Structure formats: C-alpha cells, structure tokens
Structure 1
Amino acid sequence: MKRHSLLAGKVARILYLGTICILMLISSGCAHYAIDDKPLLQWSPERQKAVGRLVAGDRSPELLVLVAFSGGGTRAASFAYGVLQELADTTVMTKNGSRPLLKEIDMISSVSGGSFTSSYYGLYGDRIFEDFEERFLRQDVESKLMWKLARPINWFRLASGAYGKADMAADYYDKILFNNATFADLLRPDSPTVVINSTDLATGARMGFSLLFFDALCLDLRSYPVSRAVTASSAVPGLFSPITLENFAGSCGFEPPAWVADALSGDESTNRKAHAQDIKAYLEHKERPWLFLVDGGVSDNLGLRAFYELFELQDDLKFTLKSINHAEVKHILIIAVDSHTKPKSPWALKRLNPSLLQVLGGVSAVQIGRYSRDTMEIVHNAFDNWSDELSDAGHPVSFDFVEVSFAGVQNEENRNRLFEIGTSFSLSDEQVDLLIASARQVLRQSTAFQDFLTENKQRTQP
C-alpha cells in the first residue's frame, strides 16, 4: 500500500508540474505574442507635411520615379531585386549632376513577395546588395516556417485564437531580416517612400500602410513593426491567418482630408467615392473595432493602384505634386515589375470535373490575371492624360511607362523556365540567378526604358 501511495504521489506531482509547465508555456507565449497596436494620442494636419519634409532627400524635383513590385513569393522578391541592381548601374543626369537612377526613386509600392525587397531596400539602402540574397532570397524560408509550426510551444500559442500563422511568420521575418525595425526607420531622407500594400478582408479594399490610413484609425504608424506590415502584405488567405489591427478611430482628433467630403457629396458611383466611403467606415469605431489584413495581391497584385489613387483621390494634380516635393516635375517614369506566371490547368486536359481546390485556384488565378491587365491599362492611360494636363507651352511634362515581366525575356527557353517557377518561399540558387539576370536584361532592353534614357540625355544637354 505504501509503495502504491508513493507511486501515486509521484504521478500526482509529475502531473502537477506538467500542468504548471504547460500553463507557463502558454502564459509566456501570450506575453510574447501580445501585439500592442499603439494609439496615436493627438493628430495634427501638419503630420503629413512633416513626413514629406523628412523624406525629401536630394532627389531631383523635376523627375518623378515610381516603381511597383508585384506579388509572387521569392520569385517576385528576386525579380524585383534584379531590377534594383540594374537601376543601380544605370546613370541619369539631373540638376544635381550625374547619379544612379536607383537614387532617384521617389516611391516604391509593393505587394506580397515584392514587399520583402522594397522594405529591405527602404530600411538599409545599398546594403541590400551585400546580404539580401544570403539572408532571404537563397534561404528555404518555407521549410523553416513549417519547422516553427511543428514546435510544441507554437501549438499552444496558435491554439489561443489570438496568435495565428501570420504572427509566427512576422516573428521569423523580424529575426532574419528586419531586426525590430519600425516605420520610423523607413522615414529617412535617402530612402524612397515605401508603400506596403495589403487587403482589408472584410471589404476587399486595398490597404496601404500609409500615414493617412493609420491616422484615420488613430494608430501610430511610426511605431508599427515593418515585419508585420510585410507579413500582412504576403498573408495568402487559407495558408496564413490575417494580421489584425485595432481601430482607435475617434480618439485622436483626426479630420479626413477635404477630398473625402467632396467625394461623398457626389451622386455618381466613382472609385473616388468608394474610397471615401471606406475611410468613413473606418471612422465608425464601434462598427469596425478590428481590421483583418491579408495578401495585397487580393486587391492589386501589381502594386500600381497606390500611384493611381495618390493622384486620383485628391483630384488636384498640382496640389498632389507639391505635397510630394515635385511641383517642378518635367518627367514622370513608372516602372512596373510584374513577376506573374501563366496559370497551369492540367485538369482541363481531362473529361473529369476539377476538384473544389482546383476550381478555387483556377478562379483566383484568372481573376487576378485579368484584373492586373486592367490595372496596367488604367494606370498607363491615366498618367498619359495627367501628363498632358500638366503640360503647357513653357513647361512640357513627359511620361514613360516601363513594364518588366517574363514576357519580355527574349530567350524562349529561359522565358519558359521562368513561367515554370512557382509561387513559394523556397527557390533553388539556379532559379534565383535566372530571375535576377532576367530582370536586369528585360529592363535594360526595354524600348520604353531606352526612350526614357534618350530623353533624359536630350533634356540635360546644354
């Protein structure tokens, strides 16, 4: 009896200690993953102007360079990286003399995989050419995320309901790339403005991590982790949980810009009015206390709409240019880096009906592809028209639109190899090399890009 009693006591103590350990793991996990979305205490209309002055740098006010990076996992990140390399090796003439075109980029708008490249360059500048390949492009990020998912400590955290796969991914990205960087670190004079795009899961609206968006929510953008923004931008629905944002709207004295009331007063259903309605909805804190953000590719897989909306929403071209330090602009250059591949439909070769997953995948790929083509055309035509509106006899404003995509690869074998690269976060060194080299080649050989460089020489010749 005594032996059984001792054994029972040992078992009880083991169970007790085990329970304590589990509770400690859960509580330590909770303490670690609790996200403090810091509220903005007091809004001021001068905030946007102050940021504009901070990031102005020494870029030419006569040349506006806008670069968009599409989604597509490491494939997109590598292709975008190749474009940055080529821009670093391309020289243009400005009022400040000869300098790399890379240093003239005013804004980068990115989606999903492209956001890893844009944010890393925004934070660290030319350092990207020293260690980005080793730290990210050539890493098997996918397997390492799966390994983290297999760790028991993460099971407890994931079971809480407040910590999802996206939060786990954000922690990992912060460790390997971002080193606790926040948006305050992105706001520096020698860095372009970086717009990291995600999608509001409830409405399908594009959500750029911008001052306007965070001010409307009475959230402090400067303290927000870059890793979480990049994770939201690449949080593919179904594979990753959304990134959540707490809405503190109404607590900081925020006043919407004048164009919001102007757009809401109109009778027509326009894109401008739809955006104004979105902002108005966010101001209703009780109706939208939380926002759930997913992959930016759901709303715009090219990243181009940020540029379009920058000008279209204000409905005052000169005011917008002045607000981004380009009142004297003489030329606008947009470089759209698109790493999409051809949808694969092997099920279409058989009589059997496709599975539900195949149907959903096919619908998603077709919709994104068609929407992207429409976006490309809308943005191209809009900036064509806007450059004409800005031009007069004494001050002509020219515009070039450069598309960098796999379709521009002249070698058929390489082009087909690129189209075969899937959307993942694990590529071979050979695939990364091909993507980087192809991006450089397509940009260098682009007729539109060469036209821009020729115009630049002609404009700057004495």
Structure 2
Amino acid sequence: MRSFFVIYLFITLSGCSSYGSIENERLQYNTDVTELYSFGGNFQKREAGEYTVVVAMSGGGTRAAALSYGVLKGLKETQINLDNSDDTLLEEVDIMSAVSGGSFTAAYYGLYGDKIFTDFEKDFLYNDVGSDLFWRILNPRRWFSSSGRTEETMAYYQNQLFNNATFADFDPLNSPLVIINATDLSQGVRFSFTQEYFNLLCADISSYPIASAVTASSAVPIMFNPVVLENHSGCGNQALFNLNSQDETNHFTVSLIEGLNNYSNKNDKKYVHLVDGGLADNLGLLAIYDIMNLSDKRYVNRIRSKVKPHLIAISIDASASPTSSMDHSTKEPSLSETIGFMTDVQVHRLNEVSKALYLSELKKLETKRNVTTYFVNINLNNTDDPEFKKYLNNIPTDLELEAEQVDILIAEGVKQLKNHPEIARFLNNIDSK
C-alpha cells in the first residue's frame, strides 16, 4: 500500500519542483583527455600482470548491492598463488561496470577500497535508506521548494555515502575503473560516466560528483525526475569514440551509435536527461563491450597489443522473478504490481541478449587473440533448492531490506563466487604454470 502512496505523491508533487543545477563543467580546450577518468587511460596505467578481471554489477536495489558486496567479499577471500604472491583476486579487478543498485557497491569500493568491508554495511546495506529518503522527500517543507526529489536524493547520498567526492577522487592506479551506467531518456541509449561519454558533451568528468552519477543510474522514471547534463560546445575535436564505423550485425551497438551521434547537434540536443541505467543495460556487460569497440583506435591498438593471457568476466545478476498471485485471481493488479511486471519482462529479455552478446565477444578473444576466458555468472537461480530459490527471488527491489535478507544475499554472493567452476578452472590454470 505504501508503494502506491509513494508513487501517487511523487506524481502529484512532480510539478511542484524543478530540476537542480547543472553540475558537469565544460571541458577546457586542448585538455589531454586521455589523462582523465577514461577507459583507455585506465588500461594504459594498469597494463601489468597476467590477467584481466572485469566485474559487472546489475540493478536491483539493495538486493543487487548486497549480492554484489558478497561477491567482493568472496574475491577478497580468494588468494592467487602466482609467483609466491599472496594477492587476492579482488586486488586484480581492472573494471567494475555497474547499474542502479549495483552502482552503490561499485562506487563505494572504487572510492574507499577495503574500507567497504568495515563501513558499507552500516552506511548502506543495513541502513534504512528507503525510509530516510521517503521522509526526506515527502517532508512538507520541501514540497514547494526549488529542490526536486532527485536533488534531495543526491544530497542524501553525498552526505551518507560519498562525502562530496568527485570522479577526480577515484584512484585508477590503485583501484578498478568504475563505470557507472545510466540511460539517456530521450534517446533510449546507455550513458556511461567515463570521459569517453563526457567528451561527446564537451564536459570534464573530473569535477562531477559521484553521488550524482549513482543517483542518475538508479533514478527510476516517475519515482524520480531525471539527472540533467548540459551538452556544451566549443571544446574542439576531442573525440575518444569512433562513431563513424558501425558493426551492422549488432543492433545494440548500432542503436547506441545513432543515439550518441545526436550529441554533436548542440542546438537540438542542449541537455541530456538521465534515468535508471537498467532500462538500457541492466547487467552492465554491454557498457564494457561497447566502450572497447567504439573507443578511438589511437589507444585501443595499444591496449590490444598488450592483451593479457587470461580474462575473467564476472556477471552479478540480481534480477528476480517474484511469485505472483495474479494468475490465481480475477482481481485487477495494483499499479505498482503492473509497473513491476512490465519492467521485469523487459529486463529479463535484455539480460539474456546481453549475456549472449558478451559471450560471443569472449569467444572472439579466444580465437583471435589467444586469450583464455572465463565467464562467472552469479544469479539468484544458482541453487538446487527450490524453496531457497523462491525465497531469493521474492526479496523485493527496494532500498530497505530486512537484516536477514541482507545476511543471506551477502552469504550467497560469497558462496557462489568461491564455489563457481570457472573460478576453480582459472585458479587451476594459473597454479599449473
């Protein structure tokens, strides 16, 4: 009942507030953009080692954040005994691509590192974030203020989680490149918070608040107004993307290129309105695929010339298929149920297509680049116990879960990661060298 009440009030009050101030600053002319927070720049700085580790964290509210956190704990507990080192698999992660609920975990780890294991549980996972936002946003004193729902959420995340940090505070030398993904509402394509995308807007990502990116990634339409970026002009030719050649066999990449090409029309596309990243890529896998395939050849060739012999891709899929009473009754489903089921159908279809596309890319790497690849699929259905599977899938997509639910999700993430046959195969391969 409260879900409907919240939706009703959000819709009712949507006309009472305006968007907040634009936060993406103009990129200065002739800036060396490869030194900013970019995919290519990160790979050039982290080129040493025998393996590339990529982690993709899906959307799904605190359910996704907790499952992803459990996987990070599992990676932390997995030692790599190569050259008599005591490194952990977590220390070897090069990229974290995250969407919506997963972006909280990825951004927190990217900013604070191992501090996540002492502070994240109390700061977010076991904190009543949903209630805090509920009362903050619906406070009558804020109804007619110039600050909208999304701006109040940004301010909360700034204070509660990210301490006013910007992308300049990420340390690409000692932590993974964290790619936070949102959806361009008018174009229907993914927008990733890296300098590659900000270049299309003639903007500098360094000064952009991490909390604003996470808010954009998790801004469910209707519930929250979009996060807005300005499409600046006058920065010169700073493109890090090659948007002229298209892979006609990949519909997703073609659609992305068409959408991103519209950013060059500064008169018609003055602003970008960003909402929940799950609408375009709920797993975060396509973000990695597309950035690699679209990035300018100037540094992609350097990256590919130094391909590491092992690549581990870990997909954390927290999407759920909750039990429904709809099929047992003629009763009309509620508004929140209808929205939920419509979203779930599209998300599950997109997830399967994303996985298939990414797996095909891994196969290309094996045949063309002589790379041994490993795909670790973590999800809520990786259990033989039907009752436990049902329990996991009925944990709601919310920002406030029961402590027991969080405990179980964390434990499940740890267990699935450490017991996954692909992790065992990887460890066996490097130990046998």
Q: C-alpha separation between the residues in 2 aligned to 1:213 and 1:287?
A: 18
Aligned residue type for 1:106: D
Matches within 5 A, 1:304-453: 304-314=285-295, 320=300, 322-323=302-303, 327-351=306-330, 354=333, 358-391=337-370, 397-453=371-427
| SS of alignment partner, residue 262 of structure 1 | coil
Whichever of the two has the greater Rg, that structure is 1
Match 1:128 to one of 111, 116, 127: 116
Q: In the alignment, is residue 238 of structure 1 matched against residue 222 of structure 2?
A: yes
Q: 1:320 to 1:246 in 2, by over 3 A?
A: same
What corresponds to 2:7 in structure 1?
Answer: none
What corresponds to 2:21 in structure 1?
Answer: 34
What corresponds to 1:154 in structure 2?
Answer: 142
Q: Is the 8 A contact 1:206 1:296 kept in 2?
A: yes
Q: 1:56 to 1:120 in 2, by over 3 A?
A: farther
Aligned residue type for 1:191: S
Q: 1:328 to 1:356 in 2, by over 3 A?
A: closer
TM-score by length of structure 2 reads: 0.88
Deviation track 1:301-358 (CA, whole Å, cap 9, x = no partner) reads 1111112113333597x9637348x714101100001111114432222245556654
Q: Is the 8 A contact 2:54 2:96 kept in 1?
A: yes
Aligned residue type for 1:403: N
Q: Which moved more, 1:362-371 or 1:341-350?
A: 341-350
Q: In the alignment, is residue 190 of structure 1 matched against residue 211 of structure 2?
A: no
Q: C-alpha separation between the residues in 1 aligned to 2:101 and 2:282?
A: 10
| SS of alignment partner, residue 97 of structure 1 | coil
Q: Which moved more, 1:350-359 or 1:239-248?
A: 350-359
| SS of alignment partner, residue 261 of structure 1 | coil
Please give the root-mean-square deviation of Cα atoms over the aligned residues, in Å.
2.6
Deviation track 1:26-71 (CA, whole Å, cap 9, x = no partner) reads xxx99x9534431112244x42256555776667432111000010
Q: Is the 8 A contact 1:216 1:254 kept in 2?
A: no
Q: In the alignment, is residue 229 of structure 1 matched against residue 203 of structure 2?
A: no
What corresponds to 1:15 in structure 2?
Answer: none
Q: CA deviation at 1:381?
A: 1.8
Matches within 5 A, 1:9-24: none
Q: C-alpha separation between the residues in 1 aligned to 2:74 and 2:172?
A: 23
Matches within 5 A, 1:90-169: 90-94=78-82, 97-157=85-145, 160=146, 163-169=147-153
Q: C-alpha separation between the residues in 2 aligned to 1:426 and 1:267?
A: 43
Deviation track 1:256-313 (CA, whole Å, cap 9, x = no partner) reads 34732233xx888854443332222101111111111000011111111112113333
Q: Is the 8 A contact 1:69 1:111 kept in 2?
A: yes
Q: Unmatched 5+ residue regions in structure 1?
A: 1-28, 392-396
Matches within 5 A, 1:164-313: 164-248=148-232, 250-257=233-240, 259-263=242-246, 270-313=251-294
Q: Is the 8 A contact 1:116 1:230 kept in 2?
A: yes
User: How many aligned residue pairs are there?
Assistant: 415
Q: C-alpha separation between the residues in 1 aligned to 2:249 and 2:94?
A: 33
Aligned residue type for 1:262: S
Q: Is the 8 A contact 1:55 1:192 kept in 2?
A: no
Q: C-alpha separation between the residues in 2 aligned to 1:229 and 1:432?
A: 24
Q: Which has the higher contact order (CA 8 A, sep 6+)?
A: 2
What corresponds to 1:24 in structure 2?
Answer: none
Q: Unmatched 5+ residue regions in structure 2?
A: 1-16
Q: C-alpha separation between the residues in 2 aligned to 1:67 and 1:370?
A: 21
Q: CA deviation at 1:189?
A: 1.3
Deviation track 1:3-28 (CA, whole Å, cap 9, x = no partner) reads xxxxxxxxxxxxxxxxxxxxxxxxxx
Q: Which moved more, 1:448-457 or 1:206-215?
A: 448-457
